[in-house]
Amino acid sequence: MILVEGTVNGKKYTEPFSKGVLSRSLTRAEVGPNRAYAMAAIIESKLKENNITKISVDELVEYIVTELKKENPLIAEKYINWRRIRQSQEPLIILIGGASGIGTSSIAFEIANRLGIKNMVSTDMIREVMRKIVSKELSPVIHESSYTACNVLRVPPPPEYDAIIVGYKSHVETVSVGVEAVIERALKEGISIIIEGVHIVPGFIREDLMEKDNVVMFTLSLSNEKMHKGRFYSRCRQTWARRPLQRYLEHFNAIRKTQNYIVSQAKTYDVPVIENIDVITTIDSIIKYITKTYGGEKNVGKQES
């Protein structure tokens, strides 16, 4: 039997080498399941050939990276980035914003899967909970969509202001209270989570929360309007989505205005703006950024190899 030695919170542990655990970790670096298991078997064979019965996690990682580099250097880099993020002892809170149809929910799901984050919530869900608590009479804006909130503003904005953006800002300000509560709870409980949606807008989340190294925000963009509109057709074809296509198309210009506003806020607050044309490219960009700002050389807990 081959034993793997590691450290968790300063305490040493020993556990049997597992091809299953290793192959699961390799899939995080986009190695196909069958190939991942085959590579895990190769690594196990090499350890046995070298009469290794006990190995540290760091030494095992060296074996893995060497094999991945033979397969594809890019996959090796993705694996290293994934491990760096997984090694942090702090919870990771990822905020992904963008207008309706930009793809925040799809990207959030893929990032959660890649990083092994089990908790994910949309700001639409947070808003829905707030709607049950706060009456329409008290806060009419949250009982509207983000792009139609202007229709229920109690005080019409001055002519020089865009009513759609004024309504949207009021909508985001209200829902941001709920978003902040989720972030605070995740930090307190030590839970990694991804929060995504149209209400994740730079400048609206409390500064003391955004200053934390383990709270990272991204803004997704889609400059091509035709492609953006096409996303609504795509997602409304899915029976599980049940999205009202006609409503989105009727308000498409308003949605684009909110998108331009989110991007302008991101530039003002130095939040990364990622053109979400290709899913893989978007995911890789987000993970690389997180690795630099959060993963770094932070210290080691018990990890999947």
Say what the pLDDT of residue 299 is: 36
Where are any strands of DSSP class E within 175-295?
193-197, 215-221, 273-275
Q: Are 263 and 221 in contact (CB under 8 A)?
A: yes
Domain presence at residue 303: no
Say what the pLDDT of residue 298 is: 40
User: Is pLDDT above 60 for 295?
Assistant: no
Task: Tell which of 37, 69, 86 closes a domain.
Answer: 86
Maximum distance among all Cα pairs of the chain, rounded to whole angstroms: 79
Domain presence at residue 54: yes
What percentage of the chain exceeds 90 in pLDDT? Answer: 53
Say if residue 75 is in the same domain as residue 184: no
User: Is pLDDT above 70 for 262?
Assistant: yes
DSSP for 94-139 reads EEEE--TTS-HHHHHHHHHHHHT---EEEHHHHHHHHHHHS-TTT-
Q: How many CB atoms lie within 10 A of CB 238?
A: 9
Q: What is the mean pLDDT of residues 217-237?
A: 90
User: Phi/psi at 303 (nearest 5 deg)?
Assistant: -130, 160
User: Is pLDDT above 90 for 129?
Assistant: yes
Domain presence at residue 119: yes
Q: Are 201 and 265 in contact (CB under 8 A)?
A: yes
Say if residue 75 is in the same domain as residue 147: no
- This prediction has a pTM of 0.79
User: What CATH number does the domain containing 207 carry?
Assistant: 3.40.50.300
Say if residue 67 is in the same domain as residue 213: no
Per-residue confidence at 10, pLDDT binned at 50, 70, 90?
low
User: Is pLDDT above 60 for 44?
Assistant: yes
Say if residue 104 is in the same domain as residue 202: yes
Domain presence at residue 107: yes
Say if residue 125 is in the same domain as residue 217: yes
Say if residue 100 is in the same domain as residue 218: yes
Say if residue 121 is in the same domain as residue 141: yes
Say what the pLDDT of residue 256 is: 97
Distance CA 53, CA 16 (A): 10
Q: What is the mean pLDDT of residues 244-256?
A: 91
Task: Tell which of 61, 86, 111 closes a domain.
Answer: 86
Say if residue 80 is in the same domain as residue 34: yes
Domain count for the chain, please give it. 2
Q: What is the mean pLDDT of residues 148-175?
A: 94
Q: What is the mean pLDDT of residues 285-298?
A: 74
Q: What 3-state class would DSSP assign to 194?
A: strand
Looking at every residue in the chain, the average pLDDT score rounds to 88
User: Is pLDDT above 90 for 9?
Assistant: no
**CA 135 from centre of chain:** 31
Range of the domain at 53: 3-86
Per-residue confidence at 240, pLDDT binned at 50, 70, 90?
low
Say what the pLDDT of residue 188 is: 94
Per-residue confidence at 305, pLDDT binned at 50, 70, 90?
low
Task: Tell which of 63, 86, 109 closes a domain.
Answer: 86
